[in-house]
Each structure stands twice: as structure tokens, then as C-alpha cells.
Copies of this chain bind each other. A is one copy, B any other.
Amino acid sequence: MPNNPVQCQFVAALDSIVGKWKPLILYHLLQGKPLRFNELRRLLPDITQRMLTLHLRELEEEELVRRVIYPQVPPKVEYSITEYGMSLSPVLETLHRWGAAHVERKRLIQEQKEQADTD
């Protein structure tokens, strides 16, 4: 951890969120309903099992996500957001909203460029 306090705070926040898939995992779990491993996998069609496992373990370690194993066969494991994890909700939401606007802006610029090309 860096000792620069400002940097420190960004790093702490980003460490929890970043990883190619973490925001998405959290987003889905923040919908409230606990999800099984393969349910998450279906929601994130392009993730590999390995990556999903790794990210979930990291989120669990930070107590953002809870993992409950039902001792039955075939296995059942449920993941859900913790109370602490919910505190990330505003961050994710702000990020999500800005992302949407950013995408829209890029689309508009692209459109303008194409318009100029046909002239």
C-alpha cells in the first residue's frame, strides 16, 4: 500500500473493484438475489470458470461477498452481497452511469464522423 494518503484511497477502492470482471459480478449480486456459481457464469458468458472462481475468492476475502456451501450432492454454492458489499453500491452506480454517458458520447462522435465522410 502506498503511503501517499490520497493515492492510498484510490488504490484501496480500485483494488476492490478492478479485475476485468469484478464490477460485473458485484453489479449482479447487488441486485439482491443470491446466485449460484453457474448462474453467475451464465450472466457473464465470456468469463472462464477459473477467472470467476478467482474473482469470487478475492471478493470473499474482502468481505464484499458471502459464500455459502450447501452440503449436498451435486454441490450447491450460493454467493450473495454482504452488508459491507452494499456500501459499494453508490460507487458502482456512479461508475455505471458515467460509463453509459461515455458510450453514448462515443457513439455520437462516431456518427458525426460518418456523416462528414459521406459529404
A→B interface (CB under 8 Å): 2, 4, 6-14, 16-18, 23-24, 27, 44-46, 84, 87-88, 90-91, 94-96, 98-103, 105-106
Contact = CB atoms under 8 A, between A and B. Distances in A.
List the number of copies, as a whole number: 2
25 contacts: A2-B46, A4-B45, A6-B24, A7-B24, A9-B96, A9-B102, A9-B103, A10-B23, A10-B24, A10-B95, A10-B96, A11-B99, A12-B100, A12-B103, A13-B95, A13-B96, A13-B99, A13-B102, A14-B23, A14-B95, A14-B99, A18-B18, A87-B101, A90-B94, A90-B98
Given A6-B24, A13-B95, 12 more contacts: A2-B46, A4-B46, A6-B96, A9-B99, A9-B102, A9-B103, A10-B99, A12-B102, A12-B106, A14-B95, A88-B98, A91-B95
B10 A14 contact: no
A21 to B, nearest CB: 9
Contacts of A11: 99
Contacts of A84: 105
